[in-house]
Amino acid sequence: MKRIAFYIFPLLSLLALASCEKDETRAVLSENPTGPAITSPASGTSKVLTNADSAKSITFTWTAADFGFPAGVNYVLQMDKAGNNFKDPLLLAATTSTSASVNIYDLDNKMLANGYPEDVAAQVEIRVRAIIYGINSSTFTDTVFSAPITMTITPYLIIVNYPKLWVPGSYCDWDHSKAEFLYSVKSDNKYQGYIWFPAENTEFKLTKVAGWEQDNTIGDPDASGTSGTLKIGDWGGNNIKVSGGPGYFKINADLNEATYSWMKTEWGIVGSATGSWDNDQNMTYDVANKVWTATLDLVQGAIKFRANGSWDLNYGDDGADGKLEPGGADIAIPAAGNYTITLNLSQAIYKYKIKKN
């Protein structure tokens, strides 16, 4: 009996070892795993994003990756600017399925936050990354990519409804539907805006609503001049009066302190890229499009925007995102050339565009 047991136990050990070796060979990675292939949308597709479609989605589908054995595959949908070789890809979706729906509002938000300008067609590439992991999710095993597809995607401006005051006046026939606005971007009851007044003298009032209501009308009881005290309610007293037009006027109204001020502005570009931080390159106001423009030769360097040839009122760009801040950082001009520059101060958030011709 002892001799039989002596032979049986080694035999069982060999069988167990063979069984283990057989189990281990079940999960062997292919030397040439097959990546996914995007099947929809087709390469070359163009998509204009709109606020009306913000609740809709773009659905991407692809074939399954093949790593040589049945595996749980994680897929990541990536997007980057065409020609950037996915150095800075945006994450559009992550899934274990072979499709993903990307919400249009979320896609628009990501594009704007990463420097894609609104209303400008962007050439992008989109790919799928397929990943499998080891024993646990922190143990990386292997990854493979699809061939990228190209798309042209145009993001849209997401409009934030900031608190605002209507500015009905003689320049718009006292019609609220034609009136411009002052905005309180910080929602702190301090309002500001820029308005083009076409006549030499202009009168206006402020209202909290899109109509004439006694308690919501704001004016100047004394018709003070370039600054004064506001009368809030009781029809606002006298009109606020502006002189020196035609011109582009900056208007401030502080409802906390019941004060206002206005000043006429003419805008220019200044900086090392223009050849001087002292001499402005004048911009021209486009009445129809409500923007200031200039086409000029620049060298590599930086610029800022300032009013009336003075540093008392100037704008730069702290985030290099196309949005302006008072006294903000210099705006880089990466290369010499002829440029068309647009300054837009007619919205709640002040913006600019620089286009090399």
CB atoms within 10 A of CB 212: 14
Check whether the bond before 33 is cis (ω within 30° of 0).
no
List, by residue range, all CATH 2.60.40.10 domains of the chain.
38-154
Separation between Cα atoms, residue 74 and residue 169, nearest integer Å: 61
Q: Which run of H or of E encompasses 24?
A: helix 2-24
pTM of the shown model: 0.63
Please list the residues that pair with 301 across neighbouring strands. Answer: 333
Could you read off the pLDDT tens digit of each residue along the chain, which spans 357 residues? 444 444 444 444 444 444 444 444 445 555 788 899 999 999 999 999 999 999 999 999 999 999 887 778 999 999 999 999 999 899 999 999 999 999 999 999 888 878 788 899 999 999 999 998 754 445 556 789 999 999 999 999 877 788 999 999 999 999 999 999 999 999 999 999 999 999 999 999 999 999 999 999 999 988 667 898 999 999 998 999 999 999 999 999 999 999 999 999 999 999 999 999 999 999 999 999 999 999 999 999 999 999 999 999 999 999 788 889 999 999 999 999 999 999 999 999 999 999 999
- HEC sequence for 134-195: CCCCCCEEEEEECCCEEEEEECCCCCCCCCEEEECEHHHCCCHHHCEEEECCCCCCEEEEEE
Q: What topology does CATH give the domain 38-154? A: Immunoglobulin-like (2.60.40)
Residue with token string 């994680």? 74
Instruction: Tell the burial category of 19 from Cβ atoms under 10 Å away from its Cβ (0-12, 13-18, 19+).
Output: exposed
Task: Give me the sign of the Cα torsion angle 304, 307, 309, 311.
Answer: negative
Separation between Cα atoms, residue 57 and residue 104, nearest integer Å: 5
Which structure tokens are listed for 263? 């000043």
Q: Which run of H or of E encompasses 263?
A: strand 259-265
Query: What is the structure's pLDDT at 30?
Result: 58
Q: How far is CA 16 from the centre of its chain?
A: 62
Does the domain formed by 164-265 have CATH 2.60.40.420?
no
Please list the residues that pair with 86 across neighbouring strands. Answer: none
Does the domain formed by 267-356 have CATH 3.90.226.10?
no
Pairing of strands 164-167, 276-282: unpaired
List, by residue range, all CATH 2.60.40.3620 domains of the chain.
164-265, 267-356
Separation between Cα atoms, residue 151 and residue 60, nearest integer Å: 12
Residue with token string 């897929």? 75
Query: In residues, how long is the chain?
Result: 357
Q: In sequence order, what DSSP letters do the residues of 26-47 get, joined into one string? A: TS---SSPBPP-EEESPTTEEE
Query: What is the structure's pLDDT at 11?
Result: 41
Query: What is the structure's pLDDT at 140?
Result: 53
Separation between Cα atoms, residue 306 and residue 269, nearest integer Å: 7
